[in-house]
Amino acid sequence: MWFLLVLLVIILIIAFSSIKIVKQAEVYIIERLGKFYKVADAGLTIIVPFFDHVRSVVSLKQQTMDIPPQGVITKDNVTITIDTVVFYQITDPAKAVYEIQSLKKGIEYLAITTIRDIIGKMDLDETFSSRDGINTQLRVVLDEATDHWGCKIDRVEIKDITPPADIRDAMEKEMNAERNKRALILESEAQRQSAITIAEGKKQAAILEAEADRESQIRRAAGEAQAIKEVAEAKAQEIQMVYDAMKKADPNDKLVQLKSLEALEEVAKGDANKVFIPFEATGALGALGAIKEVVTDKK
């Protein structure tokens, strides 16, 4: 009875150690008698007890690794601190286990040396403005170096670049000076634009005023011309009416001469009116006076 119980326990232990369940996105590196045997994918895997054992469990998911902040000297001899993160994925689990002692340490050391090499060829200002270029160069170099380790470098990102305190102060002062300069430029540009706008407004106002004055003069002249025309027409009508009346009355020569004398008498009454009559016309005037007396006696 005890023998059967012991045998059952041994069988259960062997069965438990023989059956392996591999999780999704993981693989088992299995060795047989100390030598690489196979890579067990996700699912149920049976191994031979006492002969096979699981050397390592390798994740196939994309992984991240923070590179410790490193002090790097730029081309212009400024020491800056760079913090970097690497995104990688294992493509060949067997190489990742057998080709290098520690994959993460290898990627870390390689990233540090590559960063120092790249930054050492750049000026301080260039490091701040060339992050994308630095990331690309790091990824290419790391991907090429880790290919025979069964690893693919997907991305490399520089999280932070920290210059020394005195350099930061100088950069802040420079940025403040640049901002003040831009503010002064914008203010002067605004004043110039305002002056131009005011001048344009005055110019347009003067033009409009001149146009209004010219239009007023044109209308005034047109009104005066119309008034003169109407007066002339009225005078012409008056003269025409007088002429028609005289023509209708059919005056004789004596009446015409008499009316002429009356007109001359009215003209001579004015202080400023001086009428000069030729000497030869006095005889005619005397005859006209005699005619007037005769006409008066007859009436």
Which residue range forms the structural domain that includes residue 28?
2-59
Same domain, 257 and 207: no
DSSP per residue, 181-192: HHHHHHHHHHHH
pLDDT for res 142: 92
d(CA 119, CA 130): 10
Same domain, 232 and 280: no
Same domain, 289 and 270: yes
Answer whether residue 93 is part of any domain.
yes
Domain count, the chain: 4
* Chosen domain end from 137, 163, 189: 163
Same domain, 76 and 140: yes
Answer whether residue 228 is part of any domain.
yes
Same domain, 245 and 257: no
Average pLDDT, the chain: 79
Answer whether residue 196 is part of any domain.
yes
pTM: 0.55
Same domain, 23 and 13: yes
Answer whether residue 128 is part of any domain.
yes
* Banded pLDDT at 140 (limits 50, 70, 90): very high
Same domain, 54 and 14: yes
* Chosen domain end from 104, 137, 163: 163
* Banded pLDDT at 91 (limits 50, 70, 90): very high
Asked if the model's pLDDT at residue 49 lies above 90, the reply is no
Same domain, 74 and 125: yes
Predicted confidence (pLDDT) per residue in 147-205, tens digit: 989 999 999 999 888 888 877 777 677 777 777 788 888 888 888 888 888 888 888 88
Same domain, 157 and 93: yes
Answer whether residue 151 is part of any domain.
yes
Burial class (CB in 10 A: 0-12, 13-18, 19+), 11: exposed
Predicted confidence (pLDDT) per residue in 239-290, tens digit: 777 666 666 665 556 555 655 555 555 545 555 444 444 444 445 445 444 4
pLDDT for res 8: 76
d(CA 231, CA 289): 37
With contact defined as beta carbons under 8 Å apart, do 59 and 90 qualify?
yes
Q: Helices marked H in 33-122 — which ranges?
A: 93-98, 103-119
Q: What share of the chain is helix, strand, coil (3-state, %, to 5)?
A: 60, 20, 15
